[in-house]
Amino acid sequence: MVLVHHWDTDGIASATLLSKFIECNKLFIIPKIGFYSSEAVSVGKIEKFYPDLTVLLDYGISMWEVAKLASTLNHEVLVVDHHLNTLLTNYAICNPAAYGYSTVDYPSTTWVIKEHLGFEDEVKIVLGVIGDAGTRIKSVSVRTYVLNFLEKEKLTLQDVKKAVELLDSCYKLVDYNCIGYARSLVENSGIREILEDKLLQNSVKKVKDEIWKAIENSQIIEIKGPIKVFSTTSEAYITSSIGRFLAVKNPEDIIVLVNAVAKLGIVNIYVRSVKYKVGKVIGALKNLGINVGGKDHVFSLVCEGKCYEKLKTIISILEKQLGVLK
């Protein structure tokens, strides 16, 4: 079996959670950081492993991209996820959000695995939940589960949030070896061991320096009602961190961040809002052939080609579907 997992904490925790209960030879694959497409998955590595099944974990690509990957691999591909998506017939998918269930009730892929596949490991599940939902968990059942775990382990929400920050520092530095190290740590350790890890502590320091540098260099390039468009550049893959910061600082607005990531040679367009459910426009963007992934209050994409035209399209659809200028 091949486990292709997203590079963040929820993806890492989901891969180790599933791996714990599947007794067979397994190969872990991390897609090319920053890219959400079938081309970002190393088909060559998968084919050399000769698996009967490839599982995509927390990697929110469209089902059309899944279909392309399955066709190339010529074996079954299973999707286990919690990001908003559409359904395609003849493809195996375990994703409540794709069936219309709220992402509030399924805040992480680890929670989907717990609820629908029945695999239980509190450390991994809680890491995934906090990794994607943060400390503001809206689902009563999920929050109760997390708080019960914390009480039993004598930990706080901030402890787990710090552990997530440590694990996420690897992908933000575009360090695949570090991600593998983090996955091994989650597989074999508890929250306290993660918090005490020196290698990850050093990674976090590097990431923080890059984030503040990018925030200080950010500029507003357009304002349309509550839509604020920011532009910046960064050496690390820290678009989401910059976007979260700007969204919290502007809670009544929709933040559209255009970030050129020098280390990856890409431009990210990242949309986030505390107030508005910007995820409502994901379907419309996908229908236009724009490869975008996200949840209720956030979505992002890699901009290839004419970024300005894509940016105009995104702003236009946000205006129309959310009625923000009415």
Same domain? 242 vs 147: no
Q: What is the residue-averaged pLDDT of the chain?
A: 94
> What's the Cα-to-Cα distance from 133 to each of 11, 136, 143, 148, rounded to whole Å?
13, 6, 10, 17
Whether residues 36 and 116 fall in one domain: yes
Say which CATH number the domain at 283 has. 3.10.310.40
Residue 165 pLDDT greater than 60, yes or no? yes
Q: Which domain holds residue 279?
A: 217-322
Question: Is residue 209 in a domain?
Answer: no
89 vs 184: CA distance, rounded Å: 35
Q: Is residue 146 domain-resident?
A: yes
Asked whether the beta carbons of 32 and 43 are under 8 A apart, the reply is no
The residue out of 171, 200, 229 marking a domain boundary is: 200
What letter does residue 154 receive in the DSSP assignment? T
Q: What is the dihedral of CA 59, 61, 65, 69, to 10 degrees?
A: 0
How many domains is the chain partitioned into structurally? 2
Pair (263, 147) in one structural domain: no
Residues 183 and 228 grouped into a single domain: no
Q: Are residues 32 and 176 in the same domain?
A: yes
Do 45 and 157 lie in one domain? The reply is: yes
In a domain, 23, yes or no: yes
Q: How confident is the model at residue 256 (pLDDT cuts 50, 70, 90)?
A: very high
**Domain shared by 303 and 183, yes or no:** no
Whether 210 is covered by a domain: the verdict is no
Same structural domain, 131 and 232: no
pLDDT at position 325, please? 58
Phi, psi of 94 (to 5 degrees): -115, 90
Write down which residue in 144, 171, 200 finishes a domain.
Answer: 200
pLDDT tens per residue, range 101-127: 999 999 999 999 999 999 999 999 999
pLDDT tens sequence across 67-107: 999 999 999 999 999 998 889 888 899 999 999 999 999 99
Q: Look at residues 229, 232, 219, 312 and name the one whose alpha carbon lies nearest to residue 267.
A: 232
For residues 51 and 94, membership in a common domain is answered with yes
